[in-house]
């Protein structure tokens, strides 16, 4: 049942009950919900481009781009608009239907807005769905991106509210919610999810999904990222979350947010074909394609062609 459609908030106890279901029953329920809204043999192909890399003043414990950690990543400047436009054209030619742009900032400067808006318009001109993540936004900045035609704004909450301070100290969970509210008020859809495998507890994974599902309305796009441990970061030695547990997170997310795109995002490079197949069976219906995902490796077109060909799933 979709509690949001019935006007009922999802309780933590109800979400815990879903996580406790036998795995076959959970997948069955997730697939039943999924097929009411989406074609079971289609997965959206998204491309993610780092338009400004490194040097971020935030101290997110998972991030290679933080200036607080020695990860060997050099800070760069904001890309030229035409270079981004060329990457958008390439993404479209290689089969992507969604183009995401990310900048390693705490928040953009107002002087950056004209270039960001031009990048959005360039990607839209290629017929691509657009998403951008450039940090915390003011109300005027959110309106400017909306007026440029931005479809989605990505601003992940990362983990459960009660776990947030363990991951980052340079901003608060409430700071994230404030930007999400400004984006929503500007008329842009939300892309908001989290990261698993950061040493969080099972209760934290419940709390993450509780926070997402009870947004009003829930995010239209929900990235589920598996941590990619980066040497030099505080979470660089984190063990991977077992594939079945990752699939559980995706299945519960699908049941809680039936109309959302559930995006199997970071971490696919380290996953087996079988693990990715489980996640798609659990209700993930979007992946990032291409060789790079911001600053980390991604499976690339050859591996993806093999995987999705074996599954009989079309990238759209």
* 3 state SS of 264: strand
Q: How far apart are CA 256 and CA 209, in angstroms?
A: 8
Residue 3's pLDDT is 42
Find the mean pLDDT for residues 5-30. 91
Question: Could you give phi then psi for residue 308, rounded to 5 degrees?
Answer: -75, -25
pLDDT higher than threshold 80 for residue 2: no
Q: Which residues does the annotation mark as catalytic? A: 56, 60, 63, 100, 131, 191, 263
pLDDT higher than threshold 80 for residue 126: yes
Asked if the peptide bond before residue 217 counts as cis, ω within 30 degrees of 0, the response is yes
pLDDT band at 297 (very low <50, low <70, confident <90, very high): confident
Find the mean pLDDT for residues 189-215. 98
pLDDT band at 176 (very low <50, low <70, confident <90, very high): very high
Find the mean pLDDT for residues 117-133. 98
**Which tokens hold the place of 4?**
């949001």
Q: By the 8 A CB rule, do 246 and 202 touch?
A: no
Helices 243-256 and 23-37 cross at an angle (nearest 10°) of 40
Residue 292's pLDDT is 80
Residue 298's pLDDT is 86
Q: How far apart are CA 283 and CA 31, in angstroms?
A: 6
Find the mean pLDDT for residues 93-97. 94
Residue 261's pLDDT is 98
Q: By the 8 A CB rule, do 264 and 280 touch?
A: yes
Residue whose C-alpha is closest to residue 32's, from 313, 281, 286: 281
The whole-model pTM stands at: 0.95
Q: How far is CA 44 from CA 33, 68, 201, 278, 314, in A?
A: 18, 35, 30, 17, 8
pLDDT band at 30 (very low <50, low <70, confident <90, very high): very high
Domain 13-315 fold is TIM Barrel (3.20.20)
Residue 296's pLDDT is 81
Domain extent listing, the chain: 13-315
More confident residue, 173 or 7: 173
């Amino acid at each position: 049942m979709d509690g949001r459609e019935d006007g009922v908030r999802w309780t933590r106890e109800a979400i815990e009950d879903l996580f406790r279901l036998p795995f076959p029953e959970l997948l069955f329920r997730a697939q039943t919900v999924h097929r009411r809204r989406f074609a079971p043999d289609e997965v959206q192909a998204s491309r993610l481009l780092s338009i400004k890399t490194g040097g971020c003043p935030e101290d997110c414990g998972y991030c290679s781009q933080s200036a607080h950690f020695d990860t060997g990543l050099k800070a760069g400047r904001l890309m030229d608009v035409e270079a981004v436009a060329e990457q958008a054209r390439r993404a479209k030619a290689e089969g992507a239907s969604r183009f995401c742009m990310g900048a390693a900032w705490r928040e953009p400067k107002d002087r950056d807005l004209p270039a960001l808006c031009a990048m959005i318009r360039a990607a839209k001109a290629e017929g691509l769905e657009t998403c951008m993540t450039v940090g915390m936004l003011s109300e005027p900045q959110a309106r400017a991106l909306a007026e440029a035609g931005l479809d989605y704004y990505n601003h992940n909450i990362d983990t459960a509210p009660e776990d947030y301070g363990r991951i980052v100290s340079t901003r608060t969970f409430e700071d994230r919610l404030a930007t999400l509210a400004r984006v929503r008020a500007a008329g842009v859809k939300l892309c908001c999810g989290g990261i698993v495998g950061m040493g969080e507890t099972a209760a934290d994974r419940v709390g993450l999904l509780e926070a997402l599902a009870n947004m009003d309305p829930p995010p239209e796009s929900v990235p589920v990222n598996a941590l990619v441990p980066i040497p030099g970061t505080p979470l660089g030695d984190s063990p991977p979350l077992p594939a079945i547990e990752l699939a559980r997170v995706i299945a519960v997310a699908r049941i809680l947010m039936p109309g959302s795109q559930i995006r199997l995002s970071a971490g696919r490079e380290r996953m087996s074909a079988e693990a990715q197949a489980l996640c798609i069976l659990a209700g993930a219906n979007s992946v990032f394609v291409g060789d790079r995902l911001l600053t980390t490796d991604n499976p690339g077109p050859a591996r993806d062609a093999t995987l999705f060909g074996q599954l009989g799933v079309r990238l759209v």
